[in-house]
Amino acid sequence: MKPILLIHGGAWAMPDDAIAAHENGIAAALEAGWSALSRGGSSVDAVEAAITVMEDDDTFDAGRGSFLTRDGRVQLDALLMNGANLRSGGVACVERLRNPIQAARLVLDKSPHVYFVGTGAERFARQNGMDLIDNTELIVPRERDRLMAFQRAEAAGHPDTTFSGSPTEHSHDTVGAVAIDANGNLAAGTSTGGTLSKAPGRVGDSSLIGCGCYADNLSAAVSLTGWGEPIMKLVLGKWAVDRVAAGHNPQDAATAAIEYLHTRLGGHGGIILLGPDGRIGLAHNTPRMAWGLASHEGRQLGITRNI
């Protein structure tokens, strides 16, 4: 099987002045993931490597630089899933880990459990060799300003603070990756800081199995971004991979998933899909989506256009 890596860095009305930073971040993540695959690494390795780079990049709503909670902290969620055996690792509401996708990898590799939250997740990560950091290390000034502006608008009763799912007003810079390796094994991962001014303890779709992420060699690998609550209610990741298993090609399944999100619940977002035969799908109903593709044929980046 020829390896493939498909990644995203959010779907929203990304302004022109944000494009270069997203392109650079996507390109760097593709290189890290592709180099894992070309060294003979697994699809899980590639997904973890690509997402780690995007978590470390302040541009994205994952790791350092994430949106702040209502009370001014960063709380991170991530999931990593191995399509060969369905082993999965999830963490949510972690505040002291620089790279939650690496904690998710530890859960996947080392725990009989699948999902850890809050201080229990941090303790598990620490016991397995990860450093705990201060939450302030994850906070950037841009996000303090953004939170203050949002909360001022909310206090003034501005309608765009009601999370109507508007594709233009709220950025969705969650990151994700899907990959297939030389052995034909699929993997998927998603990592996020969630939504702006979320209530402490809120968990979105990104780290929930079958919602913002899923991988199964018998169906497909998927990662989503967008307004999390509608995606969760529809268990949209599983919905999409099940369509691939039923014989739809991944592009049709991706398009149908985003249509379903919108017609059923008025949701907005983006999706990447990869089938076990290497066919890909990508769709979004936001003005832009940041994505990148690496294969033996080279690299492709897109923000203002579809695949």
Catalytic residues, by residue number, are 174
**Only segment of 21-29, 181-189, 220-228, 233-241 that touches ligand ASP (CB under 6 A):** 220-228
Mask for 123-162, x = binds ligand ASP (CB under 6 A): ----------------------------------------
Among 66, 205, 216, 290, binds ligand ASP (CB under 6 A): 205
Among 99, 191, 192, 286, binds ligand ASP (CB under 6 A): 192
**Only segment of 43-51, 98-106, 204-212, 242-250 that touches ligand ASP (CB under 6 A):** 204-212
Smallest distance from the beta carbon of 76 to ligand ASP, in angstroms? 10
Of 37 and 254, which has the nearer Cβ to ligand ASP?
A: 254
Q: In what order do the strands lie in the sheet with 88-94?
A: 115-117, 88-94, 76-82, 186-192, 175-180, 4-12, 288-295, 298-302
CA 290, CA 243: separation in Å to the nearest integer?
24
Per CB under 6 A, 55 contacts ligand ASP? no
Q: Which residues contact 258 (CB under 8 A, 6 or more apart)?
A: 269, 270, 271, 283, 284, 285
Long-range CB contacts for residues 104-113, cutoff 8 Å, separation at least 24: 104/78, 104/79, 104/80, 104/189, 104/191, 104/207, 105/44, 105/48, 105/80, 106/130, 107/80, 108/44, 108/80, 108/81, 108/82
Per CB under 6 A, 194 contacts ligand ASP? yes
Q: Which residues contact 197 (CB under 8 A, 6 or more apart)?
A: 67, 68, 69, 70, 147, 150, 151, 154, 161
Per CB under 6 A, 225 contacts ligand ASP? yes
Of 180 and 289, which has the nearer Cβ to ligand ASP?
A: 289
Of 61 and 181, which has the nearer Cβ to ligand ASP?
A: 61
Per CB under 6 A, 226 contacts ligand ASP? yes
Using the Cα atoms of residue 98, residue 70, residue 237 and residue 290 in order, give the sign of their dihedral.
negative
Per CB under 6 A, 25 contacts ligand ASP? no
Q: Which of 240, 207, 247, 249 is nearest to 221 (CA)?
A: 240
Per CB under 6 A, 204 contacts ligand ASP? yes
DSSP β-ladder status, 280-284 and 269-274: antiparallel
Per CB under 6 A, 90 contacts ligand ASP? no
Angle at 44 between CA 86 and CA 18, to 5 degrees: 120
Would you give the distance in Å from CA 6 to the centre of its chain?
12
**Only segment of 51-59, 117-125, 159-167, 224-232 that touches ligand ASP (CB under 6 A):** 224-232
Smallest distance from the beta carbon of 91 to ligand ASP, in angstroms? 13
Q: Which of 2, 59, 3 is nearest to 27 (CA)?
A: 59
Among 61, 169, 181, 216, binds ligand ASP (CB under 6 A): 61
Within 164-183, the residues that bind ligand ASP by CB under 6 A are 172-174
Among 52, 75, 82, 206, binds ligand ASP (CB under 6 A): 206
Of 56 and 61, which has the nearer Cβ to ligand ASP?
A: 61
* Residues at the interface with ligand ASP (CB under 6 A): 10, 61, 172-174, 192, 194-195, 204-206, 212, 225-226, 228
